[in-house]
Structure 1
């Protein structure tokens, strides 16, 4: 129906405008230089003198890109008015108008220049992307950004967050790949190894820091990471890569994109890698990896015995492959479609969660995506799935887990410019989730981690209004209403004032509110955790009283249960930021913020679930005897006495569950100073300070107080080099069963590319180049150096 309406709208034509432009700072060889309106068919060649003209453009706001050989050299948001000509003067020199020409989309769901963006945001493109060259380790390229927390807890296990409150399964940042949410359905975390993306596949990455639920809803608690891959026409040819590296890494990749006609373009991506992992076995028979770790029940890389008494081998030799196919269709100059399908499969991954480490025998992640754009209207549908056809083991307990799940979403957004002063973005979405944790092929569908199969849905409406009375001032108001079958309805307001006193200088003041929904296990967990033998206590009471008791204690089960009455976690943030050109060719970006967060979901605790009836003695027991029995139980169970409850049959059980508790205040400062010393040479410094004040001793920021970094990028005619170092303070880490100190450390990362002729280039990239062993969160693996050398052939 939506596609039909878009098609009908296509026939409605109105008055048009045009763009006349002049480009200065042209490269020595200006061949193949074009001006193009992004995501449309409107384009024009740029002459040797730098002039161009694009005609017959429908009124609206567009992103104008200056391209050379399909590489974006400059980008600027423009507004075309009916029956008028927009005149532009553009400068390709890197530092001339950096903040005006670098464009962002994720902040407001509409294209705008970086200087006018009403949020703390960092854009990565070009050479900056190659720090994530190592297969399966894309998050490494984010570790040098201000305010960003990258916790590498394993060889391919990463948690990406911003501004503290880190966990071992982070869900506080929404990660989107071409608009598709890539989170795991059951736990909400990311499986970065399954994305199958390399720097050559990525057009740009935008990291919006701070609460962002006003436009993105649940779990945009600390920000949004928006990854945009290259379209088929942006790939414009093929790249084949073969690489080797430390940890017996071997990788191969193929990316190809081609215009099949004036309307159709096709892209294919294939990738695979194999590698050892740093993860070590942690049973009582193994050497201690570092002090404070608890022994695990199951061993790695040697024969071990599961709960059923079977001999199993949990190998840590990771094998992964990914494939995708994308078709782009340009129906008219204004209407375009994009369809993509892909999948990935990974074996023998080891990761860390709050309840301990897990070994995934095999995980499959198919996905589908379709989108349609007509002028200012965007419609999209996506679906991601997760299947574990082989056993997944909890190493600490020996328990097993399976998952067959999907997430799918339909979304519609529309942007309208009422005038040069007013602009609005409105939208709505419907989201469905389904989770089944039974063993594949089990006719009983007995669940491995939740009480029963779960399906849920969420619906949302959102909107943003931007009022810009003149070139200096901008007011942004946004809000989003989310309703869900999992929790109470939420609304997430946003207010921003942006002052631009002169070109390339801006000051902003913002207020944002956001929320994070509890995970499916938080709501629906059902996990038998053993039995407690209370037979001796019952026998002692009967001996003391001389009468048989109807208490029926015996072997009392211990059960971990979810809490369907949980509330969402909340955060409110006030932020003051500055972004501007200083000292001629330097860019300074700094932010100070104060956040109030509350209603954190706790770890498993006794006596906190209102849906579980508290223990009551059978009727008919005299009051003095009843008090004696309860007193004996309290003495025997100690702090777990509140966990004594009744099951659905009225029998005693010990229940641990989750609740909401605590509040915290986070005050922080971030800065990044970037210097364009020449067209080839760029240097940068960054720093982050985080102060954490809590009302509950169980809550930790799990992040360093100080993070400092510096880096340099140099691009010559045939080679490019990138070197960045980061220092992180030590801190105390507590998440689930893991608690202990994380020492401070300094890491040095780098990349080098050398172009050998027209088709070949060599690449060397590495993280932790000084090979300083460290761990980023307590409970995680000891991280060593990881380097990769690859040869690439492009055509």
Structure 2
């Protein structure tokens, strides 16, 4: 009896399943080219059930829905279509029309609501998965440099810094990078380490970049711009895909070296409710070697004419090489000895070249996984858990050059999102791993084999002996003999003794004896947004809020947190109204945001824009916007306490001044006699803030007391006009995107360089003032950099023009030009260094064809920029003009679902520097095999 019941139940269930099963087959074609369109998405409307077309543009979709229902067919760069399914086994043929220009692409970031690029109230650049497939660059992140108005500075092979509209630096604290809504910046460093914890190129759905101030919607620090990277959903992009890439990097200093780049992505939809994905990426190669051995006078980076003789470090007495470390330690040998026969010159210790202090191994490994749950069985509500892990080696150039080794960063996010809302919270944590400061590595390796006192003692004794025994000796020869004697026992790179000292120093976080920096800083962030468009019909109104807490924990190696971690928080609320009028041709967008950080007064950031769509098809969009932005001082601006070897950086939060105490510093014999101090002394942050000379006044020969305030938020007021349009040109359309902007800055945050005398009172009219001047004369002072606000009148302005069209039956042509300019009144703040670091003129050209003949495509990118002057705390100097050529060609093999690509970056082989002091960027050649993407 039971067997019969089971048999009947099975039959009924099987019959029900057979009745409910609906099969749809079809073909999706490119309406313009006439051929099949691989990779198009086919899904049941409002559900996760779907599939993709194969390389022949064909698909089969089996669903449990009973006709009638609707399916959606879409593909990046094409207009979507819907098809009504009325019967089982229905065969569908769809021709998708390609967007006339890139201005037809849909973006979300500009207004936090979907809209065409054409309709955006502000300038926006977009880079999607289709562009990634066609990029000429070795990675999609490198390919962002081909976008209008976007600059990428290369600190190393694996660390690229994205910037827009000037004030560029490798530590780009004015530009925000969000990955699936999570701030990708290192909590301790306050800037993103390129794509070290970003996305695999297989998982990128889109990248949207908003140049200029975006604080009204995205809060503090979205000051110069914001980049939003969005990954693919496992509900929409399923299956297993992979890419294997290998090739060569070629540089005169490093030679030819292999690199490897491999990624895999797996995504699966289990049913209408649950989906999951995971991705893994691994990159390994050789860094661009930094081998600039020009001599500098130290902090400030002014070049001394001439080069150190190759292989002869003794040819320079007072030598501080750009990429040489340990040679920062020096003294006036006459002052140190008190002997009249000793010349009145400064002598420095023999340092070590950077290539001997770094492994120069570039490496990055990223893993990401997410779980997606739709409780209603459709896309109206989705719950997402997302975890990301990244570990890697790279090189960062800030005040010094830092070897970032085995740096680890993780992010974990829980998000609930629906059609008109999202709420999310995430955690970011990091571990500096085996990272260290190369300058202190060189300094303290030297001190491992001989103390500074003994080294200079040997130098002075040998020099004096040479002069006494041979009064006519050439001073250069005497210096050569003195250095040779002082360097006796020097640890040579490649020896066991050097390796033992190197390992000891780079694992020691005490900068008096080591070079390692420790860091376990983390942050917690929560934000949400609600759009009332389904409840209010006269306008689209949004509300949002965010909260963030920092926990600084560098064990005193970066911040003044030797005793306890430093915790502080900030929050913000915002609203936006968007109203369409005049037959939806005129769009008004008004936003306002209030932000408050614990150490500062609150800031209000408004934005108002008008956009008008002219023309019969609304293909001519004119826009005008006014907005303000602000940037809270970063954790480093407030709480850093870092001795860089060439100076000290101190944060100017009120409580940080008393928390900071310097390392012991040597006092000259003359200073000891004048002041009664011992052989060494220390100073506090309060001492430096209240009793110091302006560095510029010392350079001008008229030392005056420095005077500046505690750091506070900086602000920008921005005005922008623009036009986007699609102009008919025969059978095609010419996309035009023009913008012009003017930015006015107030309380711009910059570094104030000062000199702290070890005795006396700066600016005092009496004896104490004379003592302070004597301290300068005797070299008894410390160089300090404070983050504070400039009083200078600062403004920047520029234009951007982008053109794109198709010519000669399908060839894509794009041209863009950017002009950037910066003005300020130097006399109003002589100590101010802007660090605009942006070429005035940039031109970028793109030419290619995605299907020149069956299964074959190619692309070419040419970029030119003029020379400009780079300002930074590490080194200043001219960055030469450069022309860069990248190209790729690709071939599809549909039978194995594969695309093969061969390409190269900087094919002319003309090496260039993104900034003084980094490794010269050479050429990169690659071949890749992409499967099922």
Asked if the contact 1:401–1:449 (Cα under 8 Å) also holds between the matched residues in 2, the reply is no
2:786 to 657, 681, 684: 657
Asked if the contact 1:734–1:778 (Cα under 8 Å) also holds between the matched residues in 2, the reply is no
CA offset at residue 777 of structure 1? 1.8
CA offset at residue 169 of structure 1? 0.8
Matched, 1:459 2:571: yes
CA distance in 1, matches of 2:45, 2:221: 29
CA distance in 1, matches of 2:167, 2:189: 17
CA distance in 1, matches of 2:365, 2:899: 23
CA offset at residue 400 of structure 1? 3.1
Cα–Cα, structure 1 residues 688 and 730, in superposed 2: closer, same or farther, change >3 Å?
same
Determine the structure 2 residue equivalent to 1:211: 213
What per-residue deviation string (whole Å, max 9, x for no partner) do you get for residues 272-312 of structure 1? 12101112356788969xx996253269xxxxx999xxx99
What per-residue deviation string (whole Å, max 9, x for no partner) do you get for residues 744-769 of structure 1? 00011223321112322212233212
Unpaired runs of 5+ residues, structure 2, are 1-28, 58-64, 83-93, 249-256, 296-307, 312-318, 328-348, 443-514, 646-662, 690-708, 827-831
My pick for the range that moved more, 369-378 or 507-516, is 369-378
My pick for the range that moved more, 222-231 or 36-45, is 36-45
CA offset at residue 520 of structure 1? 1.8
1:557 to 672, 676, 682: 682
Determine the structure 2 residue equivalent to 1:302: none
* Secondary structure in structure 1 of the residue aligned to 2:363: strand
Determine the structure 1 residue equivalent to 2:237: 235
- Taking the TM superposition and a 5 Å limit, the aligned residue runs for 1:229-268 are 229-246=231-248, 247-268=257-278
My pick for the range that moved more, 393-402 or 144-153, is 393-402
1:633 to 762, 768, 772: 772
* Secondary structure in structure 2 of the residue aligned to 1:468: strand
Determine the structure 2 residue equivalent to 1:509: 624
Matched, 1:104 2:107: yes
- Taking the TM superposition and a 5 Å limit, the aligned residue runs for 1:478-627 are 478-502=591-615, 503-528=618-643, 533-534=666-667, 536-538=669-671, 541=674, 552=677, 555-557=680-682, 565-584=710-729, 585-606=733-754, 627=766
Matched, 1:755 2:892: yes
Determine the structure 2 residue equivalent to 1:546: none
CA distance in 1, matches of 2:877, 2:172: 18
CA distance in 1, matches of 2:424, 2:822: 39
TM-score by length of structure 1 reads 0.80
Higher percent of residues as helix: 2
CA distance in 1, matches of 2:710, 2:209: 33
Cα–Cα, structure 1 residues 125 and 75, in superposed 2: closer, same or farther, change >3 Å?
farther
CA offset at residue 397 of structure 1? 6.8
* Secondary structure in structure 2 of the residue aligned to 1:637: helix
Determine the structure 1 residue equivalent to 2:186: 184
* Secondary structure in structure 2 of the residue aligned to 1:235: coil
My pick for the range that moved more, 781-790 or 764-773, is 764-773
- Taking the TM superposition and a 5 Å limit, the aligned residue runs for 1:462-481 are 462-470=574-582, 471-481=584-594
Matched, 1:350 2:495: no
Asked if the contact 2:164–2:225 (Cα under 8 Å) also holds between the matched residues in 1, the reply is yes
Cα–Cα, structure 1 residues 638 and 670, in superposed 2: closer, same or farther, change >3 Å?
farther
Higher percent of residues as strand: 1
2:520 to 399, 404, 410: 404
CA distance in 1, matches of 2:147, 2:262: 28
CA distance in 2, matches of 1:208, 1:491: 20
CA distance in 1, matches of 2:184, 2:73: 30
Cα–Cα, structure 1 residues 614 and 132, in superposed 2: closer, same or farther, change >3 Å?
farther
- Taking the TM superposition and a 5 Å limit, the aligned residue runs for 1:357-376 are 357-376=401-420
Determine the structure 1 residue equivalent to 2:488: none
Asked if the contact 1:599–1:663 (Cα under 8 Å) also holds between the matched residues in 2, the reply is no
CA offset at residue 740 of structure 1? 0.4
CA offset at residue 314 of structure 1? 2.9
CA offset at residue 591 of structure 1? 0.4
Determine the structure 2 residue equivalent to 1:67: 73
Determine the structure 2 residue equivalent to 1:780: 918
CA offset at residue 679 of structure 1? 7.2
Determine the structure 1 residue equivalent to 2:453: none
Cα–Cα, structure 1 residues 754 and 35, in superposed 2: closer, same or farther, change >3 Å?
closer
CA distance in 1, matches of 2:441, 2:818: 38
Matched, 1:166 2:303: no
1:723 to 857, 860, 873: 860
Determine the structure 1 residue equivalent to 2:498: none
CA distance in 2, matches of 1:286, 1:187: 37
Specify the structure having the higher radius of gyration (Cα).
2
Asked if the contact 1:139–1:150 (Cα under 8 Å) also holds between the matched residues in 2, the reply is no
Cα–Cα, structure 1 residues 601 and 97, in superposed 2: closer, same or farther, change >3 Å?
closer
Cα–Cα, structure 1 residues 678 and 293, in superposed 2: closer, same or farther, change >3 Å?
farther
2:822 to 668, 687, 692: 692
Asked if the contact 1:253–1:270 (Cα under 8 Å) also holds between the matched residues in 2, the reply is yes
CA distance in 2, matches of 1:146, 1:312: 39
Cα–Cα, structure 1 residues 182 and 692, in superposed 2: closer, same or farther, change >3 Å?
same
CA offset at residue 794 of structure 1? 2.4
* Secondary structure in structure 1 of the residue aligned to 2:669: helix
What per-residue deviation string (whole Å, max 9, x for no partner) do you get for residues 23-54 of structure 1? 995965589977769986599999x9xxxxxx
Cα–Cα, structure 1 residues 197 and 789, in superposed 2: closer, same or farther, change >3 Å?
farther
Q: Count how many residue pairs are aligned between Structure 1 and Structure 2.
A: 697
Determine the structure 1 residue equivalent to 2:462: none
Cα–Cα, structure 1 residues 617 and 513, in superposed 2: closer, same or farther, change >3 Å?
closer
1:379 to 423, 436, 461: 423
